[in-house]
Amino acid sequence: MRSSIAIGGIAAMGVAMLFSGCSGSESGTSTFTKLQGAGASFPAPLYTKWFRDFSNAQGNVQIDYQSVGSGSGVKSFIDKTVDFGASDAAMKPEEIAQVEEGVVLLPMTAGSVVLAYNLEGVESLNLTRETYTGIFLGKVTRWNDPAIQASNEGVALPDLPINVVVRADSSGTTFVFTKHLSEISTEFAASPGTNKMPNWPVGTRSKGNEGVTASIMTTPGAIGYVEYGYAKGQDLPTASLQNKSGAFVAPSTASAQAALSRAEMPEDLILWISDPDGEASYPIVTYTWLLCYKTYEDPAKASLLKEVVNYCLDTGQAESESLGYIPLPENVVAKVKAALDTIS
């Protein structure tokens, strides 16, 4: 049984994560620099480790990142209440136009959106495209529905209601998930459609990837969408989803990389892979972006931001896979570094 401590730890990630080097705090020197960031919960576990490790190595910096969801992160960035934002839904042109200082969007890592579930005794689960769309449209409502049983021969599916868990906040993870569902289902595209905060026809609402994960863990018969690292970190089972080629594919580093390899990163660094080709491709993958100003009033903050990002692109990428994220391809890293050089 998963401990209440583990669940509490997941929920606590929604609170600010603050990292500072001890020597800098003790010395109080004029070189001490702080960066404030907020946004997506999707990359929060990885950002937590990156920022902590970087701060510990420097000793004279403090990085405060709040996992508040992509929508709040974009708003805070536009309102200039942070030094950087984070979002799984790259900013729209009309949002970018509101930032006088200019915007540089930097993809920092990639990951899979998975369907984690809580069904005692069911260790593997295949879901067709029609079935998992139907679940989130409120049309497939019980676990022993013939549509689910048909792709899970020999699996004893219980006669239980499906307890759907969705995000309560404005979410980039939701945007990516609904963009995929809209791509594969004309019915879903019509309503609720692609949105950071759609009007779901079914489901219990929970805030953040942290909240959805905790709700799934404590609700028998639950299913919900979260970033793969959250499910992996709590040992939650995840469904194998039917991809565009018709194959059932489990989330993994290899299956996500197979999906990412199907598309070339454009010069503006905004790439959506809503329904990747390839028999080995996991069907729901995304990059996640750091939102940076093109110019900063404080040169020290601009310099520190560039140091942090370079650390994340070099040393930090080695930490990605262990936490359930996908290291950036080398050609993408090169493009991100080129974009980073434009910040001043």
Q: Do domains 13-111+286-340 and 112-285 have the same CATH topology?
A: yes
**pLDDT above 90 (res 219):** yes
With a cut of 90, say whether residue 14 has pLDDT above it: no
Check pLDDT > 50 for residue 5.
no
Q: Domain 13-111+286-340: what homologous superfamily?
A: Periplasmic binding protein-like II (3.40.190.10)
pLDDT at residue 2, rounded to an integer: 43
Q: What is the pLDDT of residue 20?
A: 56
pLDDT at 19: 56
pLDDT in tens, 49-103: 999 999 999 888 999 999 999 999 999 999 999 999 999 999 999 999 999 999 9
DSSP letter (8 states) at residue 337: H
Half-sphere exposure of 234 (CA within 13 A, CB side): 33
pLDDT of 28 higher than 50: no
What is the percent of the chain where pLDDT is above 70?
A: 91
| Predicted TM-score (pTM) of this structure | 0.89
Q: How high is the pLDDT of residue 1? A: 39
Cβ atoms 74, 290 nearer than 8 A? no
Please check the confidence at residue 18 and state whether its pLDDT lies above 60: no
> What band does 196 get if pLDDT is binned at 50, 70 and 90?
very high
Domain boundaries, the chain: 13-111+286-340, 112-285
Length of the chain measured in residues? 344
The answer on pLDDT for 7 being more than 50 is: no
Pick the more confident residue, 17 or 41. 41
CB atoms within 10 A of CB 327: 17
Interacting residues of 60 by C-beta distance below 8 A, sequence separation 6+: 21, 23, 24, 27, 29, 31, 32, 33
The predicted-structure confidence for 292-319, as pLDDT tens digits, reads as follows: 999 999 999 999 999 999 999 999 999 9
Residue 303: predicted pLDDT: 95
Looking at residue 31, its pLDDT comes to: 75
CATH topology for the 112-285 domain = D-Maltodextrin-Binding Protein; domain 2 (3.40.190)
What does the pLDDT read at residue 12? 43
Is the confidence at residue 26, as pLDDT, over 70?
no
Q: In angstroms, what CA-CA distances link 190 with 169, 183, 243?
A: 21, 11, 21
